[in-house]
Each structure stands twice: as C-alpha cells, then as structure tokens.
A and B are shown apart, each in its own frame.
Chain A
Amino acid sequence: MFKNYFKTAWRSIIRNKAFSLINITGLSIGIAASLLLFIVVQYEMSYDRFQPNYDRIYRVVTQDKFDKDITYNSGVPVAALKALRTDLPNIQFGALKSIYGSQVTVPSAGNATGNKFILKSGIFFIEPEIFNIFHYDWLVGGADALKDPNNIVLDERTATTYFGNWQQAMGKTMVLDNAITLKVSGILKNVPANTDLPLSVLVSYETLKQYGSAYNHADNWNTTSSNFNVFALLSPAAKAADIDKALLQFSKRHYDVMQTNSVKRNFLQPLGTIHFDRRFETLGDHVTSKTTLLTLSLIGLFIILMACVNFINLSTALSVNRSREVGIRKVLGSNRSQLFAQIMSETAVIVCLSVILAMGIAWIVLPYIKHIASIKEPLTLFTPKTMGMMLAMGLVVILLAGLYPSFVLSKFNPITALKNKMVSASVRGVSLRRGLVVMQFTISQVLIIATAVAVSQMNFISKADLGVNKEGVLVLSSNGDSLIQSKQMAFKQQLLQVPGVQSVSFNSDAPSSDNTWSSNFAYNHQPDEKFQVTLKFADADYIKTFGVHLIAGQAAAECDTSREAMVNETLLKKLGIKNANDAIGKEIRMGRNKWLPIVGVMQDFKTNSLREEIKPLMITSNKSFQFLTAIKLRTHQLPHTREAIQKIWAQFYPDYAFAPSFFDEDIAKFYQQEEQLSLLYKIFAGLAIFISCLGLYGLVSFMAVQKTKEVGIRKVLGASVASLLKLFSKEFTILIIISFFIAVPVAWYMMHTWLNNFVYRISLSGWFFIVAITGSILIAWITVGYKAIRASLANPVKALRSE
C-alpha cells in the first residue's frame, strides 16, 4: 500500500513540477535556516556545560548598593577568599586572577631576545583548588604543577605555538613581562572554545602573591577587582539559597564595619548564567543575552512556519485539481484514513527531499554562519543533537504541513470530486489560506521593521558623535613597568619627530572603553558622595590626542603622581553644579587619597559603550597607571607612519612586543554582538521574505489558472489590462494591509525592548513602518505582477475555448 502511496507521490511531484519546486525550495531553505539558527543557539547555550559539576559550580560576586544606583562586580576583595574559607568551611573555593595584555618571552635559537607574545586573551594566576571545582584533562602533570611559585601551565595549542610541539615545552623556561621567570610544569589538553573560562596560559597563584604589586593585587578588603574571581563548588545536598543566606551574614560581618558609602553584598552566580548575565564582566570573549537567543529561535521558528504555510496554501489550492483522483480512490474502496495516510506520505516525500536539500544548503552555509556568529569551535552538522533536531524538525514539518491538506482532501465527497465540480471556493480552507497569507506577511513585516531598526541603530552607533575624536588614533599597549615609564618622555619625543604623528599621550584608558575603574570620592571637603566616579589617568596631551573639549579651565598638569584633576559635565550635574566655572579651584578626592584641585571641566564624551549612560569622570595624571600610548596620526601615508612607529618602539623597547590597535576599531568591538545580530536579522529576514514571496507566487500562479475563464469573459466584455491586474492584486493588497496592522504593535514592542538596551538610540519613527508596508506591497505586486500580466495578456478566445 505504502509503495503505491510513494509511487503516486513521486509522480505527482514530477507532474506538478513548478509547485513541487516552490514547495521544496521553500521548505529546504526554511529547514536549513532553522537548523543553522538552532546550531548557533545551541552553541551559545552549551557554554561550560561540558563541566561535570556544571549544576553545582557558582561564582561569588559582589553587589554595591549606593543611594541611587546599584553596581555589580564579578570579583570579590582579595581578603574575602581567606574569610570565605574560614566562614564557610563546607564549600570548596578556588580563586583566579586574570591579567590582560601581558607579554611572555620564549627563548629562541634564532632570536637573541627571544620570541615575544602578547597575551590578549589573558593569563590566569590560578589556585590548584580551581581544579577541584572545574574538570580539565591534562596531557602532562596535574593541579599540583600550580602549587609552587614560578610555575606555568600551557594548553596544548599555546605550547605548540611557543615551542613547536607540546612535548618539547615541558620543563622549559619563559619570562613573563620581562620580570618573572617561569618553568613549564604541565600541559593542559585544549579547553573547548565554548567556555567562559578560556584557560590557555596559567601561572601559579603563589607567583602572584610574590609579585602582587606589579599586578595591583593587594590582600585587603578595600578594592574589588572584576579580575579576581572566586568560584565555589557546592556539595550535592547544599542549596544555593542557603549559601546566599550565609553569604549575606558574611557580607554584613565583613563589609558593614568598613562604613563606606555603599552597602556591599556577596552572592552566588550560577555557572549556567555567567554566559548570559551582562551585569558582570566575563573572562571569556563575550556575553550573550538570552533575549538575543530567543529572538534568533523565534526567527528560526517563523521561517519554518512560513515554509509550512506555503505548503499548506499550495496543497489546499491544488487539491481542486486532485479532487478527481481522490474521488476515484474513494470509489475503488479507499476509506478516509487510507487517503489521509496517502496524502501524509506525499508530504513526507516532499519533506524528506527538502530535508536532504536543506542538509546540503546548511553544509555549504555553515562556515559563513560560524564566521558571522564568531563561533571558534569547529562546527559539524553531523552530531547526534543536530541529527536528532533534523529528524524532529522533519517530523514536525510533516505534521504541520501535511495534516490540514490531508484532512481537507480526504474529506472530499466522492461524487462531487469525480464530476470535477470542486472549485476553489468550494474547497475548505479559502479563509484559512487568507489567514495564513496574513500570518506570513505579518512575520515578513515584523522582520522588515526589525531589520530596518537594527540596521539604523547600528549605523547611528557607528556614526554617533562620541564627543571625542576616534579616527586615526593608534593605541599601543604595554604593561607599564618601570622600564617603560623611565623611557616614556624620550619615546614621545622620538615619535613626535615622525611626520605623520600629530600628538602622543600616555594614559590608562581611552576616552570610551569597557573598562570600569571606579572609586568612591568626596567633593569640596564634604563627606563621600553617594555615587562613584570613573577614573582615568592621563597626561596633558590626552585632550589634544583624543580631541576632548574643555568647557572651563585647562588640562591637568603632567606629573608623575596625581596633583591636579579634570572632571566631566556629568559629574558636575550629579553634584548639582550648574556653572562649570564654579567647580574650577574646588578640590576632589578619590577614596582616601589626597585632595586634588579641579583645574578643568571637560565637555561630556561617551565614557563607555552607547548601551550605558555617560558616567561621572575624573582624569588625573599618574605615571604608574599610564601604560597605553595613544598616537594621533595624520591621515596621509598611514602605512609609512605605522612602520616608523614600530621601528621606534623596537629601538626603545626591544624586550616588548609591538601590539598596536586603532581606537575606532576597539570601539567597533563594543558592538560586535549587535553588528552580528543585525547581520543575522538581514539574512534571515531576507530569507523569510523570499519564502513568503515564493508562496505568494505559487498562489497567484494557481489563481491565474483558476481565473482563466473569468479573465477571458472580462476581456471579451472590454476589460483593460490594468483592471485585470487590479483583479489579481486587490485581494493580496488587502491581506497585506491587514497583516500590517497586526505587525505594527508586535514589531514596535519587540524593537522598543531591543532599543532599550542602548542609552543612546534612535527613535522608532513612523518611517520604519511606512517602509515595511510599502516594501511588502511592492514585493507582493512584483511577485503577483508577472503572472497577472501574462494572464491578462492571454488571448481570450483561447481561454474561453478551453472552457
């Protein structure tokens, strides 16, 4: 019986080539798109799930509650580690400190000064106890390798990069930041890329204890660095809520006695939420919001739904042509369930073909999607999960797409069906078909609006005035040790000799960055204010190099230690000072340091990403923190200038790697995720629109056949081509307008929520909605137009004779 079903199905596909092509194209693109989105979403959801204790691992984090706002910090004070172990003895704790931009020098036979590598993804000073919490595979050695000072552990990939192969790395020495000699005492198997703890270069924590001052690591309760992370492994019986209660008592005991201007509390952050919680900094390369993943999942679902809708629409429309076959089968003894099974089998054949094609499409496109989504892990389609998903998707699509047409066709009355008296209007599902077209255009329009808004917002961000000059500023990083500091002035003089260099500034941080160095502060000899001030350290040329505007006073004098300060407008606003000149001469103090006179007030510039508000800012000079060199370049002859700068760097700092980046590129990295999302929106919205057009084209083609007689009669009676075009497009235009009114509130809510992630954002103007409706109508008319014009231009005599 089934053989017969499949045989008929296959021949029916061949017979209705155009419709089959539309169905198979739509379904395969839909399934491929959904599968790719599933892979991306599943990858993001898989972060750190390979850890056997995934559900029991937590990070101890800090919340600072000020009078008006709350700040979150992924770290704890260094002194808290010991106290946690004493106060909560039943929990296993392990700590690590991450440092970014350090340099390692690896001895090399061919290079007298050794090969230098800048560790942009960070080194981790790590306690061996971390390995009681997290599980990693070792190629050589174990956690004990990190027990003693001056030991380093590399992962296989890094060891191979540094020493040619990992076997040769064991026992070799290397130098960290030109100061600390370390011995390679263990090799870790490469950690999967889907982790927020990308361990590749690990130095024993005992080393950090010896060289603490070089890395701003002080064993006290005053400073909380987001780079110092404490992880906890709870016993299977322990409940996180109970530990949080204990941590509340712990916080009261240790922080409340400090009498600061905030209420500081520690609590547990589950490992499973680290990848999704934007409140905290990540040790990995990015944080993904769950809303983004939900949006991508919904787009995947929408696309597959649209492909199913096409299938249902075309199948029910085509059922008119198949009524005779159904009638014959019924007359010959087929009952409803047999017919139902037959039509479901036909759907299954089409879906199976589409699935095979979808696999091919996904296989070709996967590398591009991997690139767009910045997935570093090699991805393959042929995993049990993906295959399982494919199978499930196939089954769901068979049911979604097949159930209704099977129901409609198998219910045909055999007498009417046999006489071929079924006409489009008498087939059940005309109103359903209209409903489904409305649904398709609603989804398309929501996606058009979402894409237009996302692209506009990203354009707005990339062109937004940060309040500073971001073009042509080259930033060189170093660890700012005493050697670097001692040569800075001579280095600067040499750089200024290069014709392409306009100005040079040493500083701790670019004007806009994702660094969050902040402190409590006091103004004008008052008690500490109830909000924090962001700190940047810079020399006097910072103003010139980054094009910062002063609205009062002058730049702070250059000095080895802090002597004068500049503040921004936001700080004055928060202090209630209306006239910038009033602040000049007043004194400000960060933490418990000395009072500094305010000598300049800067016009506000964006201190962080545009997701956040401008923060109150104070800039003072302090040579020991000014380890970045910012160089404002003239735009002509950039490559020559860059080459000259590199030569000067090598001349002054032969022991330090040259690691330049452009300020505008660093800023672009803030919005990498939004850029990716905006690109994914564009691609998948395009696909969704294409699928709906495909369906529309199919429906109009069918309509053209059905209306042959009507068109013929109308033409004989004198109808113009334009009036016939109207006949075809009127219904679809009405349906698009209906779907527009459904799409508007949905898209408005969705994009309003998305834009709320940005403090600086575009407004949701009516233009986006006008573009969506105009775009949809135009797309529909173009789709309908070709078939409609052909039908309108056909010879009416021929049309009527065929009747």
Chain B
Amino acid sequence: MIKIRDLEKIYRTEEVETVALNKISIDVKEGEFVAIMGPSGCGKSTLLNILGLLDDPDNGSFLFNNIEVAHFNERKRADLRKHNIGFVFQSFNLIDELTVFENVELPLIYTGVKAGDRKKRVEEVLDKMQIMHRRNHYPQQLSGGQQQRVAVARAVVNNPKLILADEPTGNLDSSNGNEVMTLLTDLNEQGTTIIMVTHSEHDARYSHRIIRMLDGQTVLENIMV
C-alpha cells in the first residue's frame, strides 16, 4: 500500500538546517497495523505528516497504492487524503463549534456525500463507537475518552483505507486508552491499515510491527508475534 524510498525532509532557517528524515525507506502492506516509536525529535511526526499527505518531502519517492504522490499539489493531496486517509490525534482535534454528529459528518461533506446518506452513515458509526447518545453534545461537554471515540468515528466514517494515529492515547487515562486501542484493533481486523506513532510500549504491542526511529532514520524493526 505504502512504499517510500530514500525520503528526505530538511527544515531550514536562516542559520540552522535540521534533517528531520534522512533517506528513510519503509513499506507498509494493506491490512497491516504498524507502530512507529522513537524519542522526541526523531522524525516520527514528520514521517506521519508526509504519509498523511499533509506535508511533502524534499527528496525521495512515496508510492501510495502504486501512485507516486511525493510531489502532488495541494488540491490533489487534499483529494487523495479525503477519500483514503483518516486521522486520529493525541489532542482529539474536534471542532468546538460543531456537535458530535456534525464533527463526524464533516469528512462526508467534503467528499460530497448526500445529506440522507450522511445521516445514515454518521449514525451507524456513532452507534458502533457507542457514542450515539452524545450525538448532540459539543466536544467540551464530553470526557477525553468520549472525545477520542468521536475522533475515531470521524476518522473511519469515510471508510478510509488507511488510518494514521498520532499518539492516540497520549491524553487519556489507561482505561480510556485501552478502549481506544481496542477500537483501532477492531478496525484493523476489519481490513483498515493503521500506522500509529506512539511513545507507549504498551500501545505498540497492539500492532503487528514496530518501526523504531532515531535522527530521521529507521534503526530497528520488531515483528510482533
């Protein structure tokens, strides 16, 4: 599904040049659950941003479903993203002005799904995430665990092929964290590819494979048994 080769990302200011990704090469197969770990500043988030088509690399190749996307323009990236990729963030990133229902509905609006279908699909996914009873609440009225379930619902409502999760349990207690990890595992079992950045060895154990990074490079890969 994902094939990156010699990917480079360098951040430059007037005086300093920081190599965030140093000729990194990774493959992720469809249906895989991959965890990326490493110390702060090792380039995990940069890698995730490039994989999520939020950022573009300076050099190297990025094949997404055998299409070279490394140098797509913003419109093409947005198009590919909204049809194929779902995101789950550490800080949930729900829009405060929208209700639970409206937050989950948002990706469907951007992909042009009709109102009737949208309602059906949002209700289905809220039901599945067991958050239906909170559909008319605003994010500030929910607990952290509930907010993250809404975020996961929003990530999956479009049936994406890939979910990118950036420390999804970072802001949760262990019970809520486990719940979210179970949700992600269920999704993976249903066929969704998941790439997760995490600092937690416990969460990483839910994945099939752990990629460890240091200074913009992969240093080790653990296959989970």
Contacts and interface: CB of A to CB of B under 8 A. Distances in A.
A8 B110 CA distance: 15
B102 to A, nearest CB: 7
A335 B75 CA distance: 6
Contact of B109 (A4, A324, A415): A4
Given A336-B74, A415-B49, A415-B55, A4 B102 contact: yes
B98 interface: yes
B49 A332 contact: no
Contact of B54 (A1, A11, A331, A335): A331
A7 B49 CA distance: 30
Nearest to A328: B93
B106 A335 contact: no
A331 B102 contact: no
Contacts of B81: 331, 333
A675 to B, nearest CB: 51
A161 B204 CA distance: 97
A8 B111 contact: no
B168 interface: no
B96 interface: yes
Nearest to B157: A332
A414 B56 CA distance: 12
Interface string A121-147: 000000000000000000000000000
Contact of A8 (B75, B94, B97): B97
B78 A324 contact: no
B87 interface: yes
Interface residues of B, number: 27
Nearest to B107: A332
A406 to B, nearest CB: 16
A335 B74 contact: yes
Contacts of B107: 332-333
Interface in B51-106: 52, 54-55, 74-75, 78-79, 81-83, 87, 89, 93-98, 102, 105-106
Nearest to B164: A331
A333 B82 CA distance: 4
A4 to B, nearest CB: 6
Contacts of A331: 52, 54, 81, 87, 93
A335 B96 contact: no
The main secondary structure of chain A at its interface with chain B is helix
Given A1-B109, A331-B52, A332-B106, A325 B97 contact: yes
A8 B93 contact: no
B110 A338 contact: yes
B59 to A, nearest CB: 19
A778 B143 CA distance: 48
Contacts of B54: 330-331, 414-415
Nearest to A420: B91
Given A325-B97, A414-B54, A7 B74 contact: no
A4 B89 contact: no
Nearest to A1: B109
Interface in A382-406: none
A335 to B, nearest CB: 4
Contacts of A330: 54, 78
Contacts of B44: none
Nearest to A12: B97
Interface in A1-59: 1, 4, 7-8, 11-12, 15
Interface residues of A, number: 23
B55 A15 contact: no
A459 interface: no
A327 B102 CA distance: 17
A333 B93 contact: no
A12 B49 CA distance: 28
Contact of B96 (A15, A332, A415): A15
A338 B112 CA distance: 12
A8 B97 CA distance: 6
A333 B78 contact: yes
A560 B79 CA distance: 101
Contacts of A332: 82, 87, 106-107, 110, 154
A415 B53 CA distance: 11
A329 B106 contact: yes
Most B Cβ at <10 Å: residue of A330, A333, A336, A338: A333
Contacts of B110: 329, 332-334, 338
Contacts of A415: 49, 54-55
A789 to B, nearest CB: 30
A331 B81 CA distance: 8
Contacts of B98: 7-8, 11
A555 interface: no
A361 B209 CA distance: 67
A73 to B, nearest CB: 70
A787 to B, nearest CB: 24
Contacts of A414: 54
A158 B96 CA distance: 67
Contacts of B95: 8, 325, 328-329
A418 interface: yes
Contacts of A324: 93
B93 A418 contact: yes
B44 to A, nearest CB: 13
Nearest to A15: B97
Nearest to A333: B82
Most B Cβ at <10 Å: residue of A328, A331, A334, A338: A331
Contacts of A15: 96-97
Contacts of A328: 93-95
Nearest to A332: B107
Contacts of B74: 335-336
B115 to A, nearest CB: 9
Contacts of B111: 333
A156 B105 CA distance: 67
A124 to B, nearest CB: 67
B153 to A, nearest CB: 13
A349 to B, nearest CB: 13
A324 B49 CA distance: 16
Contacts of A8: 95, 97-98
Nearest to A14: B97
B106 A11 contact: no
Interface string A317-343: 000000011011111111110100000
A7 to B, nearest CB: 7
Nearest to B48: A415
B58 to A, nearest CB: 15
Contacts of A333: 78-79, 81-83, 107, 110-111
Interface of B: 49, 52, 54-55, 74-75, 78-79, 81-83, 87, 89, 93-98, 102, 105-107, 109-111, 154
Complex A-B, nearest 6 residue pairs according to Cβ-Cβ distance, in ascending order: A333-B82, A11-B97, A333-B110, A335-B78, A332-B107, A328-B93
7 contacts: A11-B98, A331-B54, A331-B93, A333-B110, A335-B74, A335-B78, A418-B89
Given A11-B98, A15-B96, A338-B110, 12 more contacts: A4-B105, A7-B97, A8-B98, A324-B93, A327-B93, A328-B93, A328-B95, A331-B81, A331-B87, A332-B107, A415-B49, A415-B55
